[in-house]
Amino acid sequence: MKKNQQKNELSKEQALFSEQKIRNFNRKLHTSIAASLLAGVFGFCALAFRTQIPLILRGVFLLLVIFLLGLALYLLLSTRKNFFKD
**Domain residue spans in the chain?**
2-85
Residue 14 reports pLDDT greater than 80: no
A 10 A CB-CB count for 34 gives 21
Claim: this prediction has a pTM higher than 0.85: no
* pLDDT for the residue 42: 79
A 10 A CB-CB count for 35 gives 13
Residue 62 reports pLDDT greater than 50: yes
Residue 54 reports pLDDT greater than 60: yes
